[in-house]
Amino acid sequence: MYDPALVQPFRDELTQLGVTELMTPEAVDTALREPGTTLVFVNSVCGCAAGSARPGLRLSLDGDKKPDHVVTVFAGMEKEATERAREYFKPYRPSSPQIALMKDGQLMKMLQRQDIEGHDAISVGETLTAAYQEHC
């Protein structure tokens, strides 16, 4: 587990966008059972989360089409909540960061670390925006 003071700015970057933090497995289950589209952002302290994933998410939420719900779990902090979220992502392996677009509880689009690392925020944002256009 990381120092909570260290990760607070990374949390704030998402909650200031209106993203809801899920702190327990039960909260994950409740959120992912909501009808409609839900984006699940697995937050992380790594450089690609800071440089591409979080800014890419911000850019994607500027568009007209977006998920009905946007939620986050923090890898390395809320271990049980993160593990529960990843159960919904099967057959994908755990990755940090990781971004899943769910629709009525079914996985529609997945971005793994290898889809984020080495890509800039604009390309991550465009990938998410395209997924919103298709599924939201």
Strands 37-43 and 98-103: antiparallel
Q: Which residues neighbour 68 within 8 Å (Cβ) at sequence distance 6 or greater?
A: 34, 35, 36, 37, 38, 136
Residue positions counted in the chain: 136
CA–CA distance, 53 with 115 (Å, rounded to integer): 10
Number of Cβ within 10 Å of residue 123's Cβ equals 15
Which residues form the catalytic set? 46, 48
